[in-house]
Structure 1
């Protein structure tokens, strides 16, 4: 890759010397005699690195550095100075310089410093390209947000997308694990190959092995024809194993072998089949707790956990609620033949105050309801579902003493639990299985809580 370097110094001979030395390494060198001239070059040319003198007439090095950081924040700057002091070096680094070199300088040392700075610039460009590619596909992936927590997710995607490493996505239900899995596949080196998703919790245990590995005709009652399993369907591509924590122990051993040996054996077949599959697994469970409770194989956990990516809950990236809601309003409104320009400040505040136990999935459903009832181009507070305005956890009717310590802990916790369950039921239209999934508990546990808290689903007002 050819790089463009700008050398800024009021001594023409030094500019010529640096240009001669750097051009031997395939670098194209531009020169400027002062800071103002340097800014004109930066406006006209695609510069990858600036090497600037510290003391110059007119606009000096520190002033030029400040201007570059303001106008071109991703552009690395190396500062040169004949007055090499710790004070100058520290000041330049604090002001955003990539590095500094002292006059007179050693050419080999200069080459090393410049090479590192250009590598740094290339990394920044790759990150910008990746972010641009992700932004281009936002309408599909819903990978929207600029919070620190979400930027860490984007960085992880960028780091792992071209590798073949097994990935484990963790996080609460509704945080967008499948969206992230699809983004990794779409922007990786298997993008033109199949992406196959399997919900391990949605397939009956008796059929899961056949679903994963396929079967031969006559292997069991009802096997009237050969079937290709999900591993073979995803060959050369990506296999997404959602809710991997719900996989039966008996099948976990066979999944482990498929990951280790890259071979599968269809049900009723004695022949092994080689597969080349990149596996991305996801769970809303704490798999280490499941391992401790003998519910999940320890060896399979470590085989899956090669590159873990934890996904933040929506309440941990509250600054992303507004852009996500606007995205959903635009896309869902267009589907319904409506055009929305945004949300009122009161509506945005109401969404910001809510804890979103169902995360992004719940936010999408909330906005979908709002787009149905909204009469104008702006979604108002009264267009939002009523459950958003229910008592927030920690502000329930249970007695509270000074310091926000509950006088009756059991009553306070019951109110918190009831608030979340009612919100999940409202968001799932009263479908109990879906509500249980939203808050990450089993259906049996959900039914027990309904009975314990005296919640009658048929009496919930929606």
Structure 2
């Protein structure tokens, strides 16, 4: 049975185009309403499954006013609008839509957005079938485990990878965001083309535009030759924007324009270059909080947050620890050419009893280190941090704030193998700018040579 859709749009040409697109995709369009009053009547008479809702409509009531009524009726809706000013977007966000599309858009974008909205709706209502998810340990592109939370991640990868839509990967440092991005790329139609990884936190602010969009020779002092930016390098492929929350606001505006127009212009150039790039972004920050505090643009958030994938912490999926530990054991035993083929029950108990603040990355580094140190063919015991309250020393004496800060930074450096900046570095783990961390290290007497 065809799903019924109501179009609420006061521009006839736009509404008619939407109707044609939807009918080609085998949806039943039950009507077109140009005002809230007309929409109410059609909803009462024909009870649609979905509503495509413009914001600015004929009459005194807006699409946002109707959205609140739809929430009361438990009718799912998506916004379609050309209005992306911050005040409007804040009002839109409060109504909790299942999607937001900025005009103009392509037929493919519309159908993918609807598919994703239906997935979200079913997931929210608890009707998403879990039968499609394997019950055994899975390994897809190095993503290992059999826990329910991980299976949901794998299922979402399978759903979104073939689509063209943007993906936002959310999760703490060390949870495997880049691996998920590579998996999405490998199962997409872009897999024969490159995936270009950009660590937004590591880009110098003065060079962000040049790094992302390139520059012409002579564009600025030191630009001695043409530079192809990351977006051009990723053309027809995927660009992975890691730690997107670190981009400054002026760079966010330029990125938003690229996402909307699907074109770039090199710094110092006047030629517009069309690009076809799949966007996958990631962050360990709460972008909604960043938006609320004025550090991240809401319109860019909506552009990126089409299909979010939340990665669980390792603490939340402890049933996967044994499989992960054995995977890393095989990997590092082979690379170091050591005959180590097991982890003792006591050592496994240690792993599952630990909270893993550094997540999978911390586990991997721990296994690598113990493989190198092992003198037998089995890891019998792990050397793990044991003091649950680092502010209190064994003597019962409280540490000073400076001592605690130094110890915290040293622990982060240890987890990151001494790496300070860049992907997988201590600055990323501590959620601070690299230059800030370097300054603190100098002040606290932490030797630069540790890096």
Whether 2:387 is the aligned partner of 1:391: answer yes
- 1:351 is matched with 351
- In structure 2, relative to structure 1, the CA distance for the partners of 1:142 and 1:392 (3 Å cut) is farther
In structure 2, how many angstroms separate the alpha carbons of the residues matched to 1:445 and 1:214?
27
The residue number in structure 2 matching 1:235 is 235
CA deviation after TM superposition for structure 1 residue 327, in Å: 0.5
CA displacement at 1:445 relative to structure 2? 6.1
Q: CA deviation at 1:427?
A: 2.0
Q: Any conservation in 2 of the 1:167–1:308 contact (CA below 8 Å)?
A: yes
Tell me: CA distance 1:149–1:390, structure 2 relative to 1, closer, same or farther (3 Å): same
Range that drifts further, 233-242 or 414-423: 414-423
Length, aligned pairs only: 319
Contact 2:144 2:320 in 1 (8 A): yes
| SS of residue in 2 equivalent to 1:227 | coil
Residue aligned with 2:169, SS: strand
Matched, 1:280 2:268: no
The residue correspondences of 1:134-283 to structure 2 (distance < 5 A) are 135=139, 138=140, 141-283=141-283
2:304 maps to which residue?
Answer: 304
Q: Quote the offset at 1:255 in angstroms.
A: 0.6
Moved more, 366-375 or 283-292: 283-292
Task: Select the structure of larger CA radius of gyration.
Answer: 1
* Cα distance change, pair 416–324 in 1 and its aligned pair in 2 (3 A): farther
- How large is the Cα RMSD of the aligned pairs? 3.3
Unaligned runs of 5+ residues in structure 2 are: 1-128
Deviations 1:348-376 (CA, angstroms, capped at 9, x unpaired): 12222222111111111111100100012
Q: Is the 8 A contact 2:201 2:433 kept in 1?
A: no
Q: Distance in 1 between matches of 2:207 and 2:441?
A: 31
Shift of 1:183: 0.3
Which residue of the partner structure matches residue 27 of structure 1?
Answer: none
Residue 439 of structure 1 corresponds to which residue in structure 2?
A: 430
CA shift for structure 1 position 326: 0.8
Q: Secondary structure at the match of 2:308?
A: strand
Offset from partner CA, 1:172-194 (integer Å, 9 cap, x none) = 11111000000011012221122
Q: Is the 8 A contact 1:171 1:283 kept in 2?
A: yes
For residues 357 and 312 of structure 1, the distance between their equivalents in structure 2, rounded to whole angstroms, comes to 12
2:391, 2:399 within 8 Å by CA — same for their partners in 1?
no
Change in Cα spacing, 1:451 to 1:200, as seen in structure 2 (3 Å) is closer
Question: Per the alignment, in what secondary structure is the counterpart of residue 280 of structure 2?
Answer: strand
Structure 1, unpaired ranges of 5+: 1-122, 401-407
CA gap of 1:399–1:285, structure 2 versus 1, over 3 A, is farther
Q: What TM-score comes out, normalization by structure 2 length?
A: 0.63
Displacement of 1:421 after TM fit? 4.2
TM-score by length of 1: 0.62
Q: What is the aligned partner in structure 1 of residue 317 from structure 2? A: 317
Q: Take 2:304 and 2:152, find their aligned partners in 1: how far apart are those partners? A: 20
